[in-house]
Structure 1
Amino acid sequence: MNIREKLYQPESRKLEFKSRIPAKMNDLLKTITAFANGAGGEIIIGVSDRERTIEGVSEPLQMEERIANAVHDGIMPMISPYISILNFNGKQVLIVQVLPGSQKPYYIKSMGIEKGVYIRIGSTTRQAAPEMIKELNRQSLGIAFEVETDFTKTPEHIDKEAVNQFFHQMGHPEPAYEILKKWSLLGKNNGDYYPTVAGLVLFGICDLPDYDFAGIRLTKFQGNTMTNISETREYSIPILPKMETICRHTADFLQKESYLEGIRRLERTIIPFYALREAIVNAVVHRDYSIRGSGIKINVFDNRMEVISPGILYGNMDISDLGTGLSECRNRAMVRIFRRMGMMEELGTGIARIYELFLNRNLMTPLFFEQGQFFKAVLPQESQEKPGLIKEYLNSESR
C-alpha cells in the first residue's frame, strides 16, 4: 500500500498520522512502544490526522536523527524502527515503521516498567494494566495463561464425568492423569498433578467461586437498547459440555424466518446458526483468561446479536486481518479440544464463512472490533434493504 492509498485509511492498531512531532517526545515514544508491544505499526509524520492533507516536515534529516536517538535512549528493551523520508508532491513526509517486538514488554525507560508500558487498542495508545504487562511477558516467553497450573486446586476439582464424555466422543477410554497432562488439562510439579486454567474452564466442577470470570451470560433485551431486559441466563464452568446448550438457547432468542425446502415450509434463525456458533466458540477459545474481572457476554436485541469477550486480538493480528485467512492463537490447548469436538474448522476460515453467509442471505455485514480491553462481534438481524437502527449503530461503533 503506497502513501496515497494510506491517506484514505482510518487510523488503526497499525497506523497513525501526525502533522508534526509532538512537543513532548514521550508522546511519540508511547506510540512506538505500543506498536512494538502489539502488531507493529506505522507513524506517518507530516500528514494531518483529520483532514489528511500533506503538510510535510522541515529539516527531515534532523528530525529522523532526533527520533532515532530518542528511541535508542528512551525505550527498553532496545527498538530499531525503520525511519524513511518520502517526497510527496514536493513535500517531505517522515515514515516511522515499527515491527512487532520479540522481547515484550517494551516500556519507556524514564517511567519504569510499572508505568511505562503502552499498548495499542484500536486507534488509541493506552497505558497497560498490570495484567496486560504479565500477558506481554508470557507472549515473549511463548507461554499461554491457559496452561498455567492452579496450585490452589487438585485433580478432584476436574469434573470426571465431563472429561470422560469428551474422551468417549473421541473413541478413547477413561484417561489417566498423564493423558490429561498431554492435553494440557493438568500440569505436574514435583510429582504432583494440578489442574490448569484450561482444564478448570472447560472441565472444572461447578461452583468454584474464583472461576466465576469464566462463565457466560446470555441476555435478551426488548428492543434495540439495553434499557429493558427480557430474560437472562447464566452458564458457569464446566463450559465445554454446555456449548451446544448455550448456542441453542441463544438461537431461541433470535428472530426467525420461514423458508421453503421442496414443498415443506421450515423455520430458521435470521442469523445463520453457523455464524451464531462460530461467534460464541471464538469468544470462548480466543478470550484472554488472565482478565478475571469480566466474563463473556452474549446480548440479543431485536436487530442484532452481540458477543463480547475479554481481551483484544492476540499477537500480530489486526482487525483488517479478520476474514483473510490469517490467524494467531492465544489458547492452543482449547483450540485443539474444540477442533476435536468438531466445533471449529481450520483456523482463519470461520469469519470469512460468516461474511459469506450474511452476503448470501442479503443481511447487513457483520462487524468485528476492539472496544477497550474487549473484543466485540456484532451480527445484524436486518437485511441490506431495511438497515433500520442497525446501520446507525454500526456506524457509531466503527467511528
Structure 2
Amino acid sequence: MTLPASQLISMQEGKTLEFKRDISSPKNIIKTLVAFANTAGGRLLIGVEDDSREVRGVENPLDEEERLCSLIADNIAPRLVPNVELISVENKTLLIVEVYPSGQRPHWVRKEGPDEGVYVRLGSTNRKADRELIAELKRTVTGISFDEQVLVDRTVDDLDFDAAKVCFERHRKLVEKDLVSMRLVAEDQGHLVPTVGGMLLFGKDREMIFPDAWIQCGRFVGKDKADILDHIDIHEHLPVAVERVMEFLKKHAMRGADFSELRRRDVWSIPLTILREAVINAVVHSDYSQRGAPIRVAFFDDRIEIENPGILLPGLTIEDMLQGASKIRNHVIARVFRELDLIEQWGSGVRRMFKEAEILGLPQPEIIEIGMRVRFIVYLEESIGVSTESHVGKEENARWSGEQVTEHVTEHVTEHVTEHVTEHVTEHVTEQVTSLVICLEDKSLGRREAMQYIGISSRPTFVYDYLQPAIQAGLVEMTQPDSPKSPTQKYRLTPKGRNFLTKEVAKHDQ
C-alpha cells in the first residue's frame, strides 16, 4: 500500500476506497472488488465502520482472511487475485484487500453471469455495466479503441473527403493516402473501408450510424436549468463543431473594450482558452458507443459545464488526470485533432487548464463523474446576467458599459505592454500576453498554431495584442530571428519568459 492504514481511515470513501464493518454481507463485498478490478483498482478496509470511521477490528482475523479469500475465488470470474493483508491499527486487526486494475477485465459476479454481473466504480458506488460499457472494457484490454474499428458495410465514398481537405488546408494539402495513415480508413478483405473514427470525423451520413455524435449547447438564465434563454444543436463535422461551440459561448459572453491604448482591445468575460481546451477534450474523450448521450455544453450565470458521455477509462482517476496522466479513448480522433494542432502532447491539456485558471485568478475548475458521464466545470470570475431582449448575440447587448469596462480594466486587466517596456515589465503584463506565455510553456508554435490554441481567428488581434507585446517584453522570441517572415517561423519562451511563468504560478500558490 502506498498509504498507511491509519491515513486511509481518515479519508472519505470514493472511487478507490471503501470501508466495511465485517464480511457479513459478502455479496456487496464481491461487487465492490469486481468494480475495483474493472475500473481503477482500489482498497477495501474491513473492520472499520463506514459511517463513523470507528476502528472495530475483525474477530478471528486468520479465519476471516481465509473465508474472504474463498469468497473471492468462488464468486468472481475470471479469477481475481487481490493482495490481502492483516494490519494492526489502534491495537485492533483490520483486513485490507488491495485490488489492482485488471488486465483480464471485465470481471463479473459469477452467479450473475458475464452479461449481468459486470460492475464498475462510479464515485463511492458500484454501478452495473450495460452492454456498451462491457464492450468498452474489453476494448481497453485489446488496445484497439472504438473509433479504430472498421465499418465493413461502408465504403470510402461515405467519407466527405472535401470537408477533410478544408479542415487541413491551413496545415497541409491532404491527399487520399493520408486517410490510411490517419486511420480514417482501413483495409478489410482487400478493400478500404471507413473506420468508426473516419465516419465520426468526416462521415457524410454520420448520424445514420451514430445518432448521438453531436453537441448540444444551452444558455440558461440564472444558476440552474429551470429557464433556458437560447440553445443550439451542432451537427457539423467534429473539428468544425469545436469552433461552433466557441462561437455560441462568445455570443452569450460579455465583451468589453480596453481603450487605455491607441488600439481597442477586447476583454472577454469568460476564459476562452480554458473553455476551448475543455470542449476539445470532451470531443476527443467521449464514448461514442453510448446511445442517447450527446456532448452537452451548459452556460450558466456563474459557470460553464462541458459534459461528455463515458466514464474515465480503467486505471485512470481524476487525481491522476490532475497530475498529467492521460489515456486516449479515441485514437483516430485524437490523431486527427493533433494533426490539426487542436491538441498538444498527451496529458498536458488538463494541467494547462488548471494552471491558466490559477494564473488568471479564477476559481479552480472541477472534474466530476456523474453517472456514465464526465463533467468539466469552469467557474467564472463574476456572475454574468443575460439580456431580456431577443437579439442577445448583438454586440450592443453583449458589450459592457463604459463604466463597467473601466472598472473591469482597473481591477482585472494589468497594464498593456508597450514598446517602452522596462526590465520590470513582467510585473504588468496583460492577460493576452499571459495566455501566449502559457501556450508556449513546453513547445515552440507557429502563428496559426498559437492562434488556434488561444482561440482567436483575427491575425491583427493576435499580432498586436499578443505577439508584439510579448516579444517587446522579452518574454517570447522567434526561432528564426534572421528570417522574421519565414513560413516556418515559430515562437518560443525566452529564459525571462520561463522565469515569468514560474513566478506567476508561485505567486498564485501563495
Provide TM-score, normalisation by structure 1. 0.90
Does the 8 A contact of 1:107 with 1:117 survive in 2?
A: yes
Distance 1:115 1:346 in 2: 38
Q: Deviation of residue 301 (structure 1)?
A: 0.6
Q: Which amino acid aligns with 2:159?
A: I
Distance 2:97 2:258 in 1: 54
Q: Who is 2:85 aligned against?
A: 84
Q: Who is 2:98 aligned against?
A: 97
Q: Deviation of residue 360 (structure 1)?
A: 2.1
Q: Which amino acid aligns with 2:234?
A: Y
Q: Which amino acid aligns with 1:19?
A: R
SS in 2 for 1:110: coil
Q: Deviation of residue 168 (structure 1)?
A: 3.5
SS in 2 for 1:213: coil
Does the 8 A contact of 1:155 with 1:193 survive in 2?
A: yes
Q: Who is 1:363 aligned against?
A: 362
Distance 1:174 1:265 in 2: 42
Residues paired across the two proteins, number: 382
- The structure with the largest strand share of the pair is 1
What does the per-residue CA deviation read over 1:70-111, in whole Å, with 9 as the maximum and x for residues that have no partner? 111211111111011111111111110001111111111121
Q: 1:260 to 1:16 in 2, by over 3 A?
A: farther
What does the per-residue CA deviation read over 1:231-270, in whole Å, with 9 as the maximum and x for residues that have no partner? 1111114211332232232232235566687565633333
Does the 8 A contact of 1:45 with 1:93 survive in 2?
A: yes
Q: Who is 1:283 aligned against?
A: 282
Q: Deviation of residue 161 (structure 1)?
A: 1.2
SS in 2 for 1:214: coil
Unaligned runs of 5+ in 2: 384-510
Q: Who is 1:9 aligned against?
A: 11
Distance 1:381 1:168 in 2: 35
Does the 8 A contact of 1:84 with 1:94 survive in 2?
A: yes
My pick for the range that moved more, 203-212 or 64-73, is 203-212
Q: Who is 2:158 aligned against?
A: 157
* 1:137 is aligned to 2:126: no
Q: Deviation of residue 365 (structure 1)?
A: 1.6
What does the per-residue CA deviation read over 1:13-48, in whole Å, with 9 as the maximum and x for residues that have no partner? 111111222x33121111101111111111111122
What does the per-residue CA deviation read over 1:289-343, in whole Å, with 9 as the maximum and x for residues that have no partner? 1112211000101111001100011121111212211111111221121112111
* 1:50 is aligned to 2:51: yes
* 1:107 is aligned to 2:108: yes
Q: Superposition pairs for residues 177-216 of structure 1, below 5 Å? A: 179-205=178-204, 208-216=207-215
SS in 1 for 2:322: coil
Q: Which amino acid aligns with 2:75?
A: G
Q: Who is 1:293 aligned against?
A: 292
Q: Superposition pairs for residues 220-235 of structure 1, below 5 Å? A: 220-235=219-234
Distance 1:113 1:136 in 2: 12
Q: Which amino acid aligns with 1:68?
A: C
Q: Who is 1:392 aligned against?
A: none
Does the 8 A contact of 1:202 with 1:237 survive in 2?
A: no
SS in 1 for 2:96: strand
Distance 2:301 2:87 in 1: 50
Distance 1:151 1:250 in 2: 38
Distance 1:260 1:27 in 2: 64
Does the 8 A contact of 1:255 with 1:381 survive in 2?
A: no
SS in 1 for 2:111: helix
Q: 1:248 to 1:346 in 2, by over 3 A?
A: same
Does the 8 A contact of 2:148 with 2:331 survive in 1?
A: no
Does the 8 A contact of 1:367 with 1:377 survive in 2?
A: yes
Q: Who is 2:127 aligned against?
A: 126
Q: 1:273 to 1:59 in 2, by over 3 A?
A: same
Q: Who is 1:337 aligned against?
A: 336
Does the 8 A contact of 2:214 with 2:234 survive in 1?
A: yes
SS in 2 for 1:294: coil
My pick for the range that moved more, 327-336 or 95-104, is 327-336
Q: 1:94 to 1:254 in 2, by over 3 A?
A: farther
Does the 8 A contact of 2:168 with 2:174 survive in 1?
A: yes
SS in 2 for 1:84: strand
Structure having greater relative contact order (Cα 8 Å, sep ≥ 6) = 1
Q: Deviation of residue 62 (structure 1)?
A: 1.1
Distance 1:311 1:321 in 2: 17
What does the per-residue CA deviation read over 1:120-169, in whole Å, with 9 as the maximum and x for residues that have no partner? 11111011111111111122222211111223432222112122234444
My pick for the range that moved more, 3-12 or 278-287, is 3-12
SS in 2 for 1:31: helix
What does the per-residue CA deviation read over 1:218-239, in whole Å, with 9 as the maximum and x for residues that have no partner? 1111111111111111111421
Greater CA radius of gyration, 1 or 2? 2
Q: Who is 1:389 aligned against?
A: none
Q: Who is 1:242 aligned against?
A: 241
Does the 8 A contact of 1:296 with 1:307 survive in 2?
A: yes
Distance 2:225 2:53 in 1: 36
Q: Which amino acid aligns with 1:14?
A: T
My pick for the range that moved more, 58-67 or 279-288, is 58-67
Q: 1:260 to 1:353 in 2, by over 3 A?
A: farther
Q: Who is 1:379 aligned against?
A: 378
My pick for the range that moved more, 259-268 or 196-205, is 259-268
Q: Who is 2:474 aligned against?
A: none
Distance 1:31 1:261 in 2: 60
Q: Deviation of residue 208 (structure 1)?
A: 3.5
Does the 8 A contact of 2:15 with 2:124 survive in 1?
A: yes
SS in 1 for 2:369: strand
Distance 1:312 1:191 in 2: 36
My pick for the range that moved more, 279-288 or 330-339, is 330-339
Does the 8 A contact of 2:109 with 2:118 survive in 1?
A: yes
Distance 2:348 2:290 in 1: 26
RMSD between superposed Cα atoms in Å: 2.1
Distance 1:270 1:374 in 2: 27
Distance 2:61 2:257 in 1: 64
Q: 1:55 to 1:230 in 2, by over 3 A?
A: same
Unaligned runs of 5+ in 1: 387-399
My pick for the range that moved more, 88-97 or 243-252, is 243-252
